[in-house]
Structure 1
């Protein structure tokens, strides 16, 4: 694998270049421009996107945010971590996690937190190798947000 550079995504154009890789992780994102719009909204709320570039192609992404709560104090939450099919098995996921971990330390965060699906055994094994430990379960309820007619 040729040299890979890790660079923050800051523009709509850069974000659009990330769509194909993010789509591997989030296949429900069907429209590239809707993805760009959503990421830009999230960036206004402190979401950060770090891209791994191999020449002029994005081959990996990590999306994360600085937050704080009573459980963890100040922490970085990883929303998205994905490496393209051809970029896997080259340590790129570990590099992305390490970059976010270092930024979290510089921001004086006490924890690095992420969620993964219960059936994602390979991802869980990767996270354990990166020093992340399972400390709980994540519960979700889909809320019906459709307006009802009178």
Structure 2
């Protein structure tokens, strides 16, 4: 079952899985950021449940830019480390791709850390994403 996380309780229930990807966050900063991103950036978060347990989480933002046009930016995608290779990430990503298509978005994009070679293989081989750019950042 895939469900949008709308309540603070549901968002908090996804923290143990999300924290495996976003290890720098504690529960308090995680909740604050999710709620602020929802309010200001239209961020949405969905979880995939297996036997009433959160096993994978995806967060995304609908966006419009001159480069991509109308698109969905995948901010977060993580499967519980004990539940990997069961197709959960694929199901969530397909769910968001269908959501995007049904809401008149033209594409889905994401970035992935250089060290995440297994994720890159998943995106390119299994999900048929194209590698089109590097992402640069500068800490202020």
Confirm or deny a common fold (TM above 0.5): yes
Paired with 1:42 and 1:137, the residues of 2 have a C-alpha distance of 24
Aligned to 1:102: 98
| Contact in 2 for aligned 1:8/1:50 (Cα 8 Å) | yes
Larger radius of gyration: 1
Deviations 1:79-115 (CA, angstroms, capped at 9, x unpaired): 0000001221110010000000000101111110000
- TM-score, reference length from structure 2: 0.95
Runs (5+) with no aligned partner, structure 1: 144-150
For 1:132, the equivalent position in structure 2 comes to 129
Q: 1:50: how far off?
A: 0.5
Aligned alpha-carbon RMSD (Å): 0.9
Distance in 2 separating the partners of 1:63 and 1:117: 16
Q: In structure 2, how many angstroms separate the alpha carbons of the residues matched to 1:55 and 1:102?
A: 24
More helix by share: 2
Pairs aligned (count): 138
Deviations 1:18-77 (A, max 9, x none): 110000001001x21221121111111200000011223211000001000000100000
* Aligned 8 A contact 1:16 1:33 in 2: no
Please give the TM-score of this superposition, normalised by the length of structure 1: 0.89
Structure 2 regions of 5+ residues with no counterpart? none
